[in-house]
Amino acid sequence: MARRLMRLGLDGFFTSQVADADELVRPARVVVGHRDMCTVDDGIDHVRVALKAGESVVAGDWVLVRPGGPRGLHLLHRRLERRSLLARRATGDVEEAQGVAANVDVVFLVEAFPAPINVHRLERGLALAWEAGARPVIVLTKADLADDPGGTLDDLAGRLGAIDIVLMRPDDTEGLACLQATLPEGASGVLLGPSGAGKSTLVNALAGHDTMRTAQVRRDGKGRHTTVHRELVELPWGAVIIDTPGIRQLGVWAGQSAVDATFDDVTQVANQCRFADCHHEGEPGCAVQAALADGSLSADRLAHWQALRREVAWQARRLPGLEQRLRRQQDRAVMRAHEVHMRNKHR
């Protein structure tokens, strides 16, 4: 069982938090979380766990569970500290984060052909990924529907900088191998993208089988297809991938540095302005204006950067302490990303 849990991503960061001697309490990873219930994988089976008010988990969380809940359900003993949380801004009036997936190393930003590809959504996704300290990988699906997928890829690479971009066609073994290479054993990935982009198709292709379970046909012969809903899926080589329902609005929940990392090309230029607090609005010695003039920086890209910076600055003002909180999460997550990278390298 311990081996299975390691394949699900259990490592020292989490086991060091498990000092409980109670042998009924055991670690498990959340496969899907709902408001009052979640399903976890305890290394042997999927187990349903009742959640009390105030207990909140998302797919990818590591938890301690114990038997004894109502209707044969288990109980949540404790959620382990997260290494990272991929979160977005909740829709609605309240300014708060909504967890999408916990403890992920790689964020796959999925967009489908035909072009045009939604660059704004990609930029927002990149900022969320950097914020979670995860490595972003862009996946352009349905390349079979595109006239010039390679041209689109080059164009995106030119705009977004040094981000991995993978093209996917149906039954694309080469594309799948590229995705697999980004997710070494023990690593966890999450798919982010609009509904219909091909996320679930990717999960099934990576898993090598249809992960959607279908219920037995009833005795009266009527087909009853119930899908056992799950988001976290174990992959054959010992990594996991989390499928998310399509997210229409990708509200950014991130700090300035995650936004700046997303617009690395722009910030590098901005760092060369004569004044550290340059607003790039005509001050003398403004490198940004110079780059706009000589065409090395697009006005569109600059505008996106400024818009996202304003958005997160506004958030930080409304929630004092947010930057520091985000910073702590990022420090831990970056260490983890480095760990996975090194592990991968020494194999």
Ligand X SMILES: Nc1nc2c(ncn2[C@@H]2O[C@H](COP(=O)(O)OP(=O)(O)O)[C@@H](O)[C@H]2O)c(=O)[nH]1
CB of 130 to ligand X, least distance (A): 23
CB of 259 to ligand X, least distance (A): 26
67 touches, from Zn ion, Mg ion, ligand X, none (C-beta below 5 to 8 Å by class): none
Q: How many residues bind Mg ion (CB under 5 A)?
A: 2
Among 58, 100, 165, 288, binds Zn ion (CB under 5 A): 288
Beta-sheet strand order (sheet of 164-167): 164-167, 135-141, 106-112, 188-192, 240-243, 232-234
Stretch that binds Mg ion, among 23-31, 191-199, 226-234, 321-329 (CB under 5 A): 191-199
288 touches, from Zn ion, Mg ion, ligand X, none (C-beta below 5 to 8 Å by class): Zn ion
Which positions lie near ligand X, rule CB under 6 A?
Answer: 141-142, 144-145, 168-170, 193, 195-201, 246
145 touches, from Zn ion, ligand X, Mg ion, none (C-beta below 5 to 8 Å by class): ligand X
74 touches, from Mg ion, ligand X, Zn ion, none (C-beta below 5 to 8 Å by class): none
Judged by CB under 5 A, does residue 200 bind Mg ion? yes
Closer by beta carbon to Mg ion, 150 or else 170: 170
CB of 219 to Mg ion, least distance (A): 31
CB of 200 to ligand X, least distance (A): 3
Closer by beta carbon to ligand X, 165 or else 337: 165
Judged by CB under 5 A, does residue 278 bind Zn ion? yes
Cβ count near 156 (within 10 Å): 19
CB of 8 to ligand X, least distance (A): 22
CB of 232 to ligand X, least distance (A): 15
CB of 293 to Zn ion, least distance (A): 12
Closer by beta carbon to Zn ion, 89 or else 280: 280
Q: Which neighbouring-strand residues pair with 112?
A: 141
Q: Using CA atoms, how far apart are residues 302 and 285, in angstroms rounded to an integer?
A: 17
Could you check whether the bond before residue 284 is cis, i.e. omega within 30 degrees of 0?
A: no
Look at residues 272, 251, 244, 215 and name the one whose alpha carbon lies nearest to residue 92.
251
Residue nearest to Mg ion (CB): 200
Stretch that binds Mg ion, among 29-37, 74-82, 195-203, 230-238 (CB under 5 A): 195-203
Could you check whether the bond before residue 27 is cis, i.e. omega within 30 degrees of 0?
A: no
By CB under 5 A, name the binding residues for Zn ion.
273, 278, 280, 286, 288
Write out the residues near Mg ion by the rule CB under 5 A: 199-200
